[in-house]
Amino acid sequence: MSMREEEYIEDLIGKFVVGEASEEEILELEKWSALTPENQKYLDDSLLIFERAQLSDQPDFDAEKAWENVKSRITGNDRKASFFLPVWGIAAGLALIFSLSFLLYSQFFKPEEFQFVSENEVVTQALPDQTEISLNQNSHVEVVYNERKKTGRIHLTGEVLVSIPDSKKVDWIVQTGNLLIEDIGTVFHVKAYPDSETVEVTVQEGMVRFFTETQLGITLHPGEKGTYNKAKDEFLKAEADINVTAFKTRNFSFFEEELSKVVADLMAVYETEIILDGNIASCKITVDFANEDLETILAIIAETMSLEIVTEGDQIRISGDGCF
């Protein structure tokens, strides 16, 4: 509902409760209240405000009876029947106007708040505008969403992948500490764990602005990663890690990548300690994996590079003779 429509409905209700609404306006108000339970509740609350705002020497107001009168007036044979409520004094009228305005904004247009927490697994949630957020393990967000203003803010601790639909309707900002990540129609990843010296933002689609209230920061495009160093209070830009969203997708792509980096990425996603024995850490491999389990991935790597895998309790050891 636009601001103009909100004001129009508020005006109709104001006329209705003081007995100044025309038959057409009453009919229109009845149709509006029947659209949703929330609309009906708002009208009922407005009538209640009227009842409580009346002067003490005025007769009691019966909301149910008022509605019966309205319905009989609209559907009955005598279309010329009048509908009047007690006349207000100026003070009571002003009280109603302020009360209705407060009720309209507080009940219908106040921001919605959500909290999502991930502990030992990835959690994916859809927000009211169909924006999707995927939280990595040990992360949580507090979301404030204002439908009327078309704005939203995600307060992040941890790691999140934000995917905004093509039909972008809301301006989203991710906030972590004093850092702000402003969406410009995109899919982007934010990594901001409290014990880390850096905050990282990676863009897959669209653009984001990575900044603070006192610094302009940097603008990031697809394939770029922005890093904020907390100690140095500075922003840096670099090429994005293609596997940054693997915690959600379980998809990996390695091109001439050293085995040490491959293992580090796998440990971050599968939370299993992998130890490299022998002179194999700098050996390079080119391979892709699409939503495979860790056992399958390691078996393919071992077969490709002629390595041996041994499981020892919670650890996995990979050994070999070196690179060929």
pLDDT at residue 186, rounded to an integer? 85
Task: Identify any residues that bridge with 275 across adjacent strands, giving them in sequence order.
Answer: 317
Domain interval for residue 152 = 112-239
Predicted local distance difference test score (pLDDT) of residue 83: 40
Helical spans, DSSP H, in 152-291: 246-249, 259-270
Q: Which two tokens stand for residue 210?
A: 């990575």
By residue count, the chain amounts to 324
Q: What is the pLDDT of residue 30?
A: 85
Boundary (domain end) residue, out of 187, 204, 239: 239
Q: State whether 90 and 129 are in the same domain.
A: no
- The reply to whether 231 and 261 lie within a common domain is no
> How many structural domains comprise the chain?
3
Dihedral of CA atoms 69, 73, 75, 80 in degrees, nearest 10, equals 160
Q: Is residue 118 located within the same domain as residue 235?
A: yes
Task: Report the chain (324 residues): mean pLDDT per 10 consecutive residues.
Answer: 68 76 84 82 74 52 54 48 42 54 57 91 93 95 90 95 88 94 89 95 94 92 95 95 94 95 95 92 94 94 92 91 74
What's the pLDDT at 80? 41
Q: How many CA within 13 A on the CB side of residue 56?
A: 0
Of the residues 239, 261, 285, the one at which a domain ends: 239
Evaluate if pTM is beyond 0.75: no
Asked, for residue 244, whether it belongs to a domain, the answer is no
CA distance 292 to 294: 7
Look at residue 14 and tell me if it is in a domain.
Answer: yes
Per-residue model confidence (pLDDT) at position 107:
53
DSSP string, 91-155: HHHHHHHHHHHHHIIIIISSPEEEEEEESSS-EEEE-TTS-EEEEPTTEEEEEEEETTTTEEEEE
- Structural domain ending residue among the three candidates 208, 239, 270: 239
Quick one: pLDDT at residue 82?
Answer: 39
Please provide the DSSP assignment of 206-234 as one string.
S-EEEEESS---EEE-TTEEEEEETTTTE
Distances (CA, A) of 229 to 107, 192, 198: 42, 11, 5
Please check whether residue 324 lies inside any domain of the structure: no
C-beta separation of 270 from 292 below 8 A: no
